[in-house]
Amino acid sequence: MGRFDGRVAVITGAARGIGFGTAQRFASEGASVAILDLDEASAADAAGRLELADGAKAVGIGADVSDKASVDAAVERVVTELGGIHVLVNNAGVTRDNLLHKMTEADWDIVMGVHLKGAFLMTQAAQRHFTEQKYGKVVCLSSVSALGNRGQANYSAAKMGVQGFVRTLGIELGRFGINVNAVAPGFIATEMTDATAARVKMSVEDFRAAAAEHNPVKRVGFPEDIAAAVAFLASDEASYITGQTLYVDGGSTLV
């Protein structure tokens, strides 16, 4: 028996990184899984790599979470192809880092569009089904950067916005059997952080080693660390938890 037997989980931005690790976790616990990502071929390839439980299905869908028509069509496809929707993980993300005086309007808009508008549109499309069936779990990806990080005014504002978003939806949706929470990762080894290493002209190894020194557990995180926390918050064991943000950061925000 898996915790997500018979459930359908949708994870955005799941062709790679934290999203793919989370998709694998849901699959390993019995869920049918929809992988949404910008590029349909990458999403389908990732879906094909999932190890599914007997009777479970996976689908890869190309969708832009910041576009309402794309989101609505994707959620309807999930319901048609996988037979329902029970868990939504708003994971898709981008960074456009720069100091304020160099940050462009486009840098601001894309980060707000993917993280905040994307979470809004996806959750709104899913909640129509969740309220009808009086059951739904939403987990959004925030970040330790919500607390402030040089060069990330756009990303930090969006990730703190996510925390306000889940608190408000916790209040609005609890009575419909819907839990809404966030996970705020610290440094996780993915292509996103590898790209940051390249931008600051460090090798991936040196960048990760430096990040590991910045937290009490003295290692970087991996997608599996975040997947475990997301799966817990999306499980029925966490049905008395809503509106919360769980920091999964090796204690980096303690020091």
Q: Which residues bind ligand NAP (CB under 6 A)?
A: 12-13, 15-19, 37-39, 64-66, 91-94, 114, 118, 141, 143, 185, 187-188, 190-193
Write down the least CB distance from residue 162 to ligand NAP, Å: 9
Tracing tokens 């880092």 back to the chain, one arrives at 97
Q: Output 17 or 30, the one with its CB closest to ligand NAP.
A: 17
155 is catalytic: yes
How many other CB atoms are found less than 10 A from the CB of residue 93? 22
Write down the least CB distance from residue 247 to ligand NAP, Å: 10
Q: Which residue of the set 135, 155, 240, 247 is catalytic?
A: 155
Token pair recorded at residue 110? 């894309």
Q: Output 32 or 190, the one with its CB closest to ligand NAP.
A: 190
CA atoms of 22 and 1, how far apart (whole Å): 19
Helix, coil or strand: residue 250? coil
Q: Output 169 or 188, the one with its CB closest to ligand NAP.
A: 188
Write down the least CB distance from residue 175 to ligand NAP, Å: 28
Q: Output 35 or 173, the one with its CB closest to ligand NAP.
A: 35
CA atoms of 233 and 180, how far apart (whole Å): 9
4 contacts 56 by C-beta, under 8 angstroms: no
Write down the least CB distance from residue 229 to ligand NAP, Å: 12
Token pair recorded at residue 166? 């889940």
Alpha helices in the chain (DSSP H): 17-28, 40-48, 68-82, 105-111, 118-133, 153-173, 191-199, 204-213, 223-234
Q: State the virtual CA torsion across 76, 113, 150, 247 in degrees, nearest 10.
A: -20
188 contacts 221 by C-beta, under 8 angstroms: yes
Burial grade of 137 (CB within 10 A; 0-12, 13-18, 19 or more): buried
Write down the least CB distance from residue 117 to ligand NAP, Å: 9
Q: Output 136 or 185, the one with its CB closest to ligand NAP.
A: 185
Active-site residue set: 155
